[in-house]
Structure formats: structure tokens, C-alpha cells
Amino acid sequence: MNTPVPRRVTVLYSISATCGAVGALLWVRDLTSAPPRVYGAYLAADGYTSSAWRVWSRAVSEERLGLYLIAAGLVLAVAARLFSIRRD
């Protein structure tokens, strides 16, 4: 008989998915950041600028932070899976 999934497993999976998504977005943002292009009189960076605003400290690049968050998401997903297996 299947037992209901404990609340902490659901929370761990949610945090894991959030870490993975944010990490992937930061990693892709750092990989695709390029200097703005100019199209005639319109500066393409007006809509989206890669500003000097940093997500983290200057010592850790956004690419590395993204990879750290992806790794943390994977670790949390494994922990959630282990909690759910132990529960059964």
C-alpha cells in the first residue's frame, strides 16, 4: 500500500527544483552575456542590460554560482529520494 509522501520530502524536492532552476539561469546568463549590439539608432541593450549588479560577490562568478546551485539542487533531490525510500 502506498503511503502519502511526507511534507519534508515535498519541501526538499521544491527547494531542489528552485536551486536547479536558478542555478541554470545564472549559468546560462553568464555564458550568453555579450556586449550590446547597436541596430541603427536603437541600442539593443536598452531592453536588457547586463548591468554591474552582481548576484553574488565578485570573488565568485555567476557561472560558478550557477553550477554550485545546480549541484546543491542535485544533492537535495538525492536527499529527498533517500527520505522517501526510508519512509517506505
Q: What does each C-alpha distance from 76 to 4, 25, 27 come to in angstroms?
A: 20, 18, 19
Tell me how many helices (H) and strands (E) the chain has: 2, 2
pTM above 0.85, yes or no: no
For every one of its 88 residues, what pLDDT tens digit does the chain have, with 9 covering 90 and above? 466 667 888 899 999 999 999 999 888 887 777 655 555 555 555 555 555 556 667 777 778 888 999 999 999 999 998 988 876 5
